[in-house]
Amino acid sequence: MSDTTRPGEFELIARYFAPIAGAGGLGLVDDAGLLKPARGYETVVTTDALVAGEHFFADDPAASIARKALAVNLSDLAAKGAKPEGFVLSLALPHGWTEAWLADFAQGLARIAGEGACPLIGGDTVSTPGPLILSITAFGSVPAGRMVPRSGAKPGDVILVSGTIGDGALGLQAHGPGKLAWVARLSEEHRHFLADRYLHPQPRLALATALQVHASAAMDVSDGLVGDLAKLLKASKAGAEIDLDMVPLSAAARAAIMADPALAELAWTGGDDYEILCTASEREYLSLIVAAEAAGVALVAIGRVTDEGAVNYREKGRARSFAQGSFAHF
């Protein structure tokens, strides 16, 4: 039986989503949106689905869920050197949804869409007896032939990563239920920092142009640095030498690892960082670092690409291996 106290599908769209739609959304009254790539540009497309209980906690703030859903797509666009142009949202609401929840969700979505200059242009809203499910497909544009692929790394290239690594995976444990002993040993500031990095990823859109100009390969770090590097190298048919001591860690992550040294492996393999992993030639990598710094993002060299073969990790001068390289969806 339908709930007549809540808006129907079309009223829901008009009330919560039409106000944040861009011109390409045609007022969200049509069956499709409209994008117009500029002459000489190509369209980059990416999509991500998130399921309550799998990718976020069902009781996470609605605005945070919305932010993360779009931010992970914007992170993919950034890694390709693309400028966001718009996105579509598919939202499967569980039977117990409330207007207050949806209003907060729409507010959070509007905020990240504004920050990323990526307007809503369409989508679909349905009801489900299961958990909340949302899927976003985002569109970006890049000058023809300038998209940065995952497969472009060459032997001799320098491997770099943006920001800090491990905060997302550590933040999941700091934010989630059943707090572990190491969480209690952190300062309130460090606990908050890590939880915020998990809840509210910061897509590195400011790096897009620098990657276009200087990078040979790039992808975002969503499933863990070790696992995602393996994907990039497999696509590039290459190997690597990595100095784990060079992997940038935040003060909060360092404090967590001091509280429990075993967390170092989680930081390198756990995922949810949404930083940029990229490669650049010996000739270009310093220019890439400088361009990134000018854009307000730190890039740090952590190793080099080698001929096809193994990825060799070293920590404090000794070889290091990992039981599991990254988060696995299946």
Residue 323 has pLDDT above 80, yes or no: no
Which position has the higher pLDDT, 78 or 55? 78
* Mean pLDDT lowest among 19-23, 96-100, 152-156, 244-248: 19-23
Give the model confidence (pLDDT) of 12-55 as tens digits.
788 888 888 888 887 877 777 888 888 999 999 999 999 998 89
| 8 Å CB contact between 20 and 106 | yes
Q: Where are the alpha helices (DSSP H) in 240-284?
A: 251-259, 263-269
Helix and strand totals (H; E) in the chain: 11, 11
Written as six digits, the tokens of 199 are: 């809840």
Task: Dump pLDDT digits (tens) for 80-124.
Answer: 999 999 999 999 999 888 999 999 999 999 999 999 999 999 998
Asked if pLDDT for residue 262 goes beyond 90, the answer is yes
Q: Is the pLDDT of residue 2 over 50?
A: no
276 touches 205 (CB < 8 A): no
> From the annotation, which residues make up the binding site for ATP?
123-124, 150, 222
Per-residue pLDDT averaged across 122-137, rounded? 93
Domains in the chain (CATH in brackets) are 9-143 (3.30.1330.10), 158-320 (3.90.650.10)
**Among 7-21, 154-168, 209-223, 297-311, which is the least confidently predicted range?**
7-21
Query: Which residue has 């100095």 as its token pair?
Result: 243
Characterize the bridge pairing of strands 311-315 and 239-243.
Answer: parallel
Least confident of 4-18, 214-228, 316-330: 316-330
Q: What is the mean pLDDT of residues 166-185?
A: 93
Report the pLDDT value the prediction gives residue 228, as an integer from 0 to 100: 96
E strands present in the chain: 41-51, 83-94, 120-128, 133-143, 158-162, 217-221, 239-243, 275-280, 299-306, 311-315, 318-320
Q: Work out the widest C-alpha separation in the chain, in whole angstroms.
A: 66
User: 274-313: per-residue pLDDT in tens?
Assistant: 999 999 999 999 999 999 999 999 999 999 999 978 899 9
Bind-site residues? 31, 46-48, 55, 76, 123-124, 150, 220, 222-223, 272, 327
Question: What residues contact residue 189 under an 8 Å CB cut-off, 6+ apart?
Answer: 252
- pLDDT for the residue 324: 64
Residue with tokens 């497309």: 45
Say if residue 330's pLDDT is above 70.
no
By C-alpha distance, which of 217, 76, 200 is closest to 138? 76
pLDDT for 7 equals 75
Over the chain, what is the mean pLDDT? 92
% residues pLDDT > 70 (the chain): 96
pLDDT for 327: 52
Annotated binding-site ranges for substrate: 55, 272, 327
Number of Cβ within a 10 Å radius of residue 311:
21
pLDDT at position 8 is: 74
DSSP string across 35-77:
--PPTTEEEEEEEEEEEBTTTB-TTS-HHHHHHHHHHHHHHHH
- Alpha-carbon 235 to chain mean position: 20
Give pLDDT, residue 18: 84
Annotated binding site for Mg(2+): 31, 46-48, 76, 124, 220, 223
Residue 57: how many CB atoms within 10 A of its CB? 16
Task: Report how far residue 292's alpha carbon sits from residue 150's, in angstroms, rounded to the nearest whole number.
Answer: 19
